[in-house]
Structure 1
Amino acid sequence: MASLPLATAGVCNSNAGLILNDDLRALQPIFRIYGRRQIFAGPVVTLKIFEDNVLLCEFLEEKGHGRGLVVDGGGSKRCAVLGGNLAQLARNNGCIKDVDEINSCDVGIHALNSHPMKSNKKGVIEKHVPVTFAGTRISDGEWLYAASNGILLSNSELTL
């Protein structure tokens, strides 16, 4: 995902018309920030999973091509979908030196919380489907703009 030159509040101020047309939407502020990258933007790929991270693992093994991953985990608070094994995968790819160093990794992650229990491996997933959470419907191919002061979704790439 690309770096974003402005805070999301500035993006909102500069694009009031898009907000009125519902072409620019803000997610409800329910996420905690993990990873070192605080500001990022790019087109999204959507995954819908529930207590199962098989497809998430497959996606993380691929090259990102500047895309961001939006994962609807069904709001489960019973397990993590990004845990030790996927942290190990990131470490093997040269991102994390120690599993405890996820917050120093140069990636942007916004998530509900952390959890010590790992997910299932049933392979029950949906890819490239619209997802709805944090008060917003998100479709594959939309653009995500994230900063420490919020996350925005746009129907198309914005000129910043």
Structure 2
Amino acid sequence: MLLTADLYDQRGEDLQSVPLQFLNLGGRARFSGPIRTVTCFEDNALVKSVLSTPAAGAVLVVDGGGSMNSALMGDMIAELAVQNGWAGVVINGAIRDRVAIGTMPLGVKALGSNPRKSSKDGVGVTDAVVEFAGVTFTPGRTIYCDEDGILVER
């Protein structure tokens, strides 16, 4: 995979750059793939449901509204993602079990961590266009992530 800085130099007009400063929390800092989405707020039931399905290298973008009140993914859900072939997860919110997740062959970007569990009511939406930080994440388009940040196809 090209580094995001080089990719932006080549294709800047075709890409959106995410200005929000995500932390690299997974075992892979560089990952890319077709976007799938979940929108939820302090409820990770849909995150678990989607990451329990085969992905063939997709990246799940989770819009948790930027909430840091509870984690939207922990080590057990991250392990499901690994088992099902996900390239990575980008969470506009928090994770937990960050030490364990940091050893997994999975790209994970999130705003931070919180040991508190989220609710599990299944409230939210899957595979819809998501927008945060002024960037539009459209299912099926490609997302590129590395140590410098995140780029998304327009």
TM-score, structure 2 as length reference: 0.83
One-letter code of the match for 2:44?
A: N
RMSD over equivalenced CA pairs, Å? 2.1
Cross-structure match for 1:60: 51
Cross-structure match for 1:151: 150
Cross-structure match for 2:111: 112
- The percent of aligned pairs where both chains have the same amino acid is 37
Matched, 1:46 2:42: no
Larger strand share, 1 or 2: 2
Q: Counterpart of 1:113 in 2: which secondary structure?
A: strand
Cross-structure match for 1:14: 10
Task: Give, in angstroms, the shift of residue 49 of structure 1.
Answer: 0.5
Q: Counterpart of 1:112 in 2: which secondary structure?
A: strand
1:50 and 1:74 in contact (8 A); partners too: yes
- Partners of 1:41 and 1:143 in 2: how far apart? 7
Cross-structure match for 2:134: 135
- Partners of 1:15 and 1:88 in 2: how far apart? 34
Gaps of 5+ in 1: 156-160
Matched, 1:70 2:66: no
Equivalenced residue count is 142
One-letter code of the match for 1:15?
A: R
Cross-structure match for 1:82: 73
- Partners of 2:79 and 2:29 in 1: how far apart? 22
2:22 and 2:110 in contact (8 A); partners too: yes
- Partners of 1:125 and 1:119 in 2: how far apart? 13
Gaps of 5+ in 2: 85-96
One-letter code of the match for 2:37?
A: T
1:34 and 1:111 in contact (8 A); partners too: yes
> Could you give the per-residue CA deviations for residues 127-158 of structure 1, whole angstroms, max 9, x where no partner exists?
11111113211111111011111110013xxx
Over 3 Å counting, the alpha-carbon distance change for 1:127 and 1:90 in structure 2 is closer
2:15 and 2:153 in contact (8 A); partners too: yes
